[in-house]
Structure 1
Amino acid sequence: MAKLDQNTFSIFKEKIDLYVFLQTIYEKVLPAFQNKKMKLMIDCPKNLWINLDPVRFEQVIINLLDNSLKYSKEMTTTLVRVNKEKDEIEITIKDQGIGIPQEDLPYIFDRLYRVEKSRSRATGGFGLGLAIVKQIVEAHGGEISVESQVGHGTCFIINLKQ
């Protein structure tokens, strides 16, 4: 996070096939979803090329999927969907988890902010994950937003220029 603050971290973009990129992440995280009896689905067109730093952007996707895993119950589904509109690519990660209270939504990308204040670092992390996700998405020239409803799940929306 300190490197992000000082703008000393580097983004090394390369042209990647987003479908192949997401399939690789899917294979990495699928065992964790299966262990929790959750379903993970990827809906992405094939041969969709974008300039991304694959190492940094993998952090983004894995962090969001990890949150979905932590805050969803068994027998639920998490869907990663990619849509292309003109020169923009939208990646959504939607779960059927516990959701985020409306009053917390404006702050979830703030450093050290945790929705569940009672969580310890052992179970709830440091409150840095979403702040880092936002920094990386913005370093790619993109935007990230969230929609959520308590008891119905959360949807993170990432918009990137192609």
Structure 2
Amino acid sequence: MTADVAHELRTPLTTLGSHLEAMIEKVWEPTTERLKSCHEEILRLGKIVMDLESLERVESNNLKLNKAPIDLMELTNSVCVTFEGELSNKNLELEINGTASIVSIDKDRFSGVISNLLSNAVKYTPDGGQIRVLIQDSPDESIFVIEDNGVGIPEEELPFIFERFYRADKSRNRKTGGAGIGLAIVKSVVTAHGGSITANNCTQGGCVIEIRLPKNII
């Protein structure tokens, strides 16, 4: 893991260092655009550090889940509201269907799961595309499904996308700032709840991720 962390931190640090050095030595003028670029790299570093801290907490044996009966549909709707601006910027349609489904989960941590998956869908769905979320209920489990009509994931990459630091399309993730940590956190939180998560490509294009949460685990 140490080598992976070093690799993820090296790129933004190198970019930040070279930009600042060029401005200090007056090779570049400290324009607003260049200062903004430095600020973005600092934010990226901060995001990587926070994700690493979250992953460490989630994967530790001492993880404490503050579970309570939560309506998965209601929680999903509340998280999706926070993405209205990003959806509007890309002219994306978000469709939420299904039914109420009460399950015992840690509200804050599972909000993070939904937010992470929705953020990925927004990033990789083309402008004017569609994202669909479905909540299903059964006596034994609650099911959360999110589907987009983006580029999908190469079939040979699907078994590995939930591994830490794994990125199915490395050039695409560099562009969007991903470090390959988010889906590892998602899987760890789902597993801590006794659930399962799978990812598949849609026949018409895009990706579908399904989470199943058992109701018999308190």
Please report the TM-score for the alignment, with normalisation by the length of structure 2: 0.69
| 1:19-98 mapped onto 2 (5 Å cutoff) | 19-46=73-100, 48-98=101-151
Match of 2:193 among 132, 140, 159: 140
Gaps of 5+ in 2: 1-54
Partner AA of 1:44 in structure 2: G
Query: Using CA pairs below 8 Å that are at least 6 residues apart, which structure has the higher relative contact order?
Result: 1
Greater Rg by CA: 2
Match of 1:114 among 154, 160, 167: 167
- Change in Cα spacing, 1:87 to 1:36, as seen in structure 2 (3 Å) is same
Aligned length: 161
Distance 2:135 2:107 in 1: 16
3-state SS of the aligned residue for 1:24? Answer: helix
Say if 2:110 and 2:189, in contact at 8 Å, map to a contact too: yes
Distance 2:213 2:194 in 1: 7
Say if 1:79 and 1:93, in contact at 8 Å, map to a contact too: yes
Please report the TM-score for the alignment, with normalisation by the length of structure 1: 0.91
Cα displacement (A) at 1:122: 6.1
3-state SS of the aligned residue for 1:104? Answer: helix
Give percent identity, aligned residues only: 37
Distance 1:112 1:141 in 2: 23
Cα displacement (A) at 1:121: 4.8
Deviations 1:40-65 (A, max 9, x none): 1111313x311111100011111111
Comparing both structures, which one devotes a greater share of its residues to strand? 1
Match of 1:105 among 154, 158, 164: 158
- Determine the structure 1 residue equivalent to 2:4: none
Gaps of 5+ in 1: none
Comparing both structures, which one devotes a greater share of its residues to helix? 2
Cα displacement (A) at 1:75: 1.5
Aligned-residue RMSD, C-alpha: 1.7
- Change in Cα spacing, 1:43 to 1:149, as seen in structure 2 (3 Å) is closer
- Change in Cα spacing, 1:26 to 1:100, as seen in structure 2 (3 Å) is same
